Structure 1
């Protein structure tokens, strides 16, 4: 019988994590599923738990109950992604990992898809590199405005308030309006692995996408695929605050890509250089600001249990 290693963030979505687990565990017991439970207690604890689980070098099925940030911690703790099958029960504010892979969002349906899977999808993992340190990401990594929004969302009182009404993803929109006033565009140069160098004089942000969505449903790179060995890059530049306000709603639909102030391209690796340190994020999790970083597709792949035949590309034995 398969052993499921559940890593549960009880504080996800302002305490909904524990309530959700208490709802799902009776079903596991009813089915006599073989499982272990690990409850996270603090920031980065899920990373340590995943490292402990995978330290034996054996194959494991790890199920994450939490938000995109908890997934990010787990994939950074896994010692060998090739030996892990990941299940996901999304209860975060953004749920871009589930949205991008077409995984079921209601907790009961997500658990059912994990216990009776139609297949798995093998996804690429990206890496942000700074000062010799490497941080994996599954959804996206960003430099500038979008990362600054992620930083502020993590501590925003609006997130707690809106989560109570099931509207947590609106936090990103509220915080974005505030950051538009505070943040000024900067000069950014991006050098890609094919030798191309692009310089943008007035840049608000650059996002390096493994999946189409970030920030609670903004479809920044509609064609991004986690299976093509490439990062889709979107750069927002030479924009006025008013034009940004116009483009953000369009980005929810992926209809922003035709504007000259939005540049989209693909690469396997890129170096990013800015005139001053800018905020960074991996899957919405803040990283310390830097003037120079690198992004790449790592070559590692992770098997994720799919919820539909459209999302899955390999049967589970």
Structure 2
């Protein structure tokens, strides 16, 4: 049985229309399925929890954006018993880019229905006694501030209508950069290696290469290698950072001073000031300290190439 979790509001209301186009394809194949439409924020989490709470093997296919996948991920009760497929319909689609999935939902559906399942790493962020999973990235600072602002920005709806949703992140980043006040941060890797930085713009843990609508912040991040890739940006004048941003689309920024890339199993980000936090682009309350690590269980993901 396939369980389709559909966000009808994805990409400014295109989710419901896309499902209407996909449903005849499923009926033609005579595949058993149920569809679950999300009605409010975090509803996808509740749906996923209800489906997977019995401990049996289930296949979930998400039609929506990275945020909808993140909600589903945080509702799954047994990662190793759950197969997850993704039909991208968001603004950024960093998960689809990282997994090499087609941007067209129809094409993606054809591929994942026949794709083998592969065990993938799932990240977890811990803060103030709470925890939240992520599959793409989790960050503290400027990148999270951009994600927070995108959620309420009028640019998002405009760019989505023009099928240029990825530009929302770049546009908001340019707006926020001029008001940003970088501060001190300590990064502790695997409880041993300490990195103390000044004038830090942001730090993020990456499970896949892309974030923020196509920025290839950690080109070598691989969700099957059992590690997290860390990026921190610090000590750069704002003008230099502005000039470096376009190079991040191609992963070329890692060659410049002030860009720190590291690999670990777990990390702690300790900031002098409270900063915005995100998981897969979804806002979390501002924090001074977060810990990122990998879940013990791997998720069974349906995709072909990264």
| TM bin (shorter chain) | over 0.9
Superposition pairs for residues 21-100 of structure 1, below 5 Å? Answer: 21-100=19-98
The yes-or-no answer on 1:291 pairing with 2:288 is: yes
The yes-or-no answer on 1:114 pairing with 2:112 is: yes
The structure 2 residue matched to 1:271, chosen from 260, 268, 271, is 268
Residue 191 of structure 2 contacts residue 267 of structure 2 at CA under 8 Å; is this kept in 1? Answer: no
CA RMSD of aligned residues (A): 0.9
The structure 2 residue matched to 1:166, chosen from 160, 163, 166, is 163
Deviates more, 1:227-236 or 1:294-303: 294-303
- What whole-Å deviation, never above 9, does each CA across 1:133-175 have from its counterpart, x for those lacking one? 1100000000000000000001110000000010011000110
The structure 1 residue matched to 2:211, chosen from 209, 214, 218, is 214
Superposition pairs for residues 119-268 of structure 1, below 5 Å? Answer: 119-268=116-265
Q: Quick one: distance in 2 between partners of 1:303 and 1:131?
A: 29
Q: Quick one: distance in 1 between partners of 2:265 and 2:294?
A: 6
| Structure 1: runs of 5+ lacking an equivalent | 312-317
Q: Residue 221 of structure 2 aligns to a residue in which SS? A: coil
How far the C-alpha of 1:121 sits from its partner, in A, is 2.3
Residue 14 of structure 1 contacts residue 164 of structure 1 at CA under 8 Å; is this kept in 2? Answer: yes
Q: Quick one: distance in 1 between partners of 2:167 and 2:103?
A: 17
| Structure 2: runs of 5+ lacking an equivalent | none
Work out the number of aligned pairs and report it: 306
How far the C-alpha of 1:89 sits from its partner, in A, is 0.3
How far the C-alpha of 1:238 sits from its partner, in A, is 0.7
Residue 229 of structure 1 contacts residue 299 of structure 1 at CA under 8 Å; is this kept in 2? Answer: no
How far the C-alpha of 1:194 sits from its partner, in A, is 4.9
The yes-or-no answer on 1:280 pairing with 2:299 is: no
How far the C-alpha of 1:189 sits from its partner, in A, is 0.3
